[in-house]
Amino acid sequence: MELLNTLVDKGLRREPPTREEALAVLATADDDLLDVVAAAGKVRRAWFGRRVKLNYLVNLKSGLCPEDCSYCSQRLGSQTGILKYTWLKPEEAAAAAGAGVAGGAKRVCLVASGRGPTDRDVERVSRTIQAIKEQHEDVEVCACLGLLSDGQATRLRDAGADAYNHNLNTSEATYGDITTTHTYADRVTTVRQAQAAGMSACSGLIAGMGETDEDLVDVVFSLRELDPDSVPVNFLIPIEGTPLAEKWHLTPQRCLRILAMVRFVCPDVEVRLAGGREIHLRSLQPLALHLANSIFLGDYLTTEGQAGKDDLAMIADAGFEVEGTDTTTLPAHRADALAAVGAACGGHGEAAAGCGSAGGGCAPCGDAATPETSETPETSKTSETVPATVPAEAAPAAVPAATPAAGARTDLVSVRRRGAGTDLPPNA
């Protein structure tokens, strides 16, 4: 297909496709799917070789969230039966992180539910980061705490945070249909605050929420403009008890086309295969490694993932290798840009470039560069309470029931009952 040849050439030059070309990728026929994967795979290998970066999630505080995000099992008034607990102690979080590092994770992602951290929360997370770094000097730490207030990004960077995650999730035009308690602009502002503080920015999307192809292209082009270093691609897990519980729109083939489109639009960025991969890609997960150069190891925040040993076996069987801490994830032009930003902000500068986060949040994505060749039932640790239901004036519009896509495996969703917040060992 001439389209694919054009997209490969553009990807190797870090030139963006047109919107029409990105839409055409999503519209390709199943008969052409392997050609699409092969083409996007050329771009992936040019910038990242056959390396796969492993990331590990630690849910510092589960549930108890005042926001009404329709996709989220931790949302206000959630009746999903997930684990709910307040803040893990620094030593508990460090122990949880250690399990992921032992499994090969290069980055630990510290996540806490809520609209955004208080200054006391930032201090708490700072102590947690320090506890993790004391035990695992080379590990990258990414914080994901919601909307940031002035000065908080700098405090997290000074505490040793290498990156900050805040996803755009969906297009600006449809954001109000998914969430009403904060805005799309709020999310953009937080990502820019992280970049300005010298941290590597991580921001991605959730596919499968009923969006159109145009919405998917919109959010991915918005991400390219925002220029995060990492773009997690999540596939909606329609957990019972959330407004999007009936949204089973994805097939393995559509997931691969979405990943390919993201790779063509963001060729030299860490594309992370994130939540929902096991449910929606299933036996086609190894093909996705030709598109994404990063995955989460083991379980997610509130749901179970593939066993860590199976993740490692999948990577090896597909002919890929786990990326070590001695390797910078992203290309040198992005690593150098982040180092310059970190130094200008008074941050870790050279250390940021060497730790593997390899950023460059301020680097224009189109500049020329040379590719590489190569519980037991619910456990509560808090007296916090939240309203049992979402106030009517705050609730997103009702989402109509939908017919599951052909082949959807609705039986594969399992709520996490092990790891952080429980006495059971993690899945890593």
Write out the catalytic residue numbers.
65, 69, 72, 109, 142, 202, 272
Beta-carbon count within 10 A of 300 CB: 22
Question: 136 phi and psi, to 5 degrees?
Answer: -135, 85
Residues 6+ apart with CB under 8 A from 192: 226
The answer to whether 398 and 64 are in contact (CB under 8 A) is: no
CA distance 87 to 67: 18
CA neighbours within 13 Å on the CB side: how many for 181? 18
CA Rg, the chain, in Å?
20
Q: What is the DSSP string of 263-326?
A: HHHSTTSEEEE-TTHHHHTGGGHHHHTTT-SEEE-S--SSB----HHHHHHHHHHTT-EEPPTT
Nearest Cα residue to 65 out of 387, 315, 322: 387
Residues 6+ apart with CB under 8 A from 393: none
Handedness of CA 340, 349, 271, 217 (dihedral sign): negative
The answer to whether 221 and 214 are in contact (CB under 8 A) is: no
> Which residues lie across from 321 on neighbouring strands?
51
Q: Where are the alpha helices (DSSP H) in 318-370?
A: 332-344, 350-354
**Per-residue CA distances from 32 to 3, 25, 131, 280, 284 (Å):** 12, 10, 49, 19, 15
Burial 267-278 (b: 16+ CB within 10 A, else e): bbbbbbbbbbbb
**Per-residue CA distances from 143 to 125, 152, 176 (Å):** 8, 11, 25
Handedness of CA 116, 89, 158, 203 (dihedral sign): negative
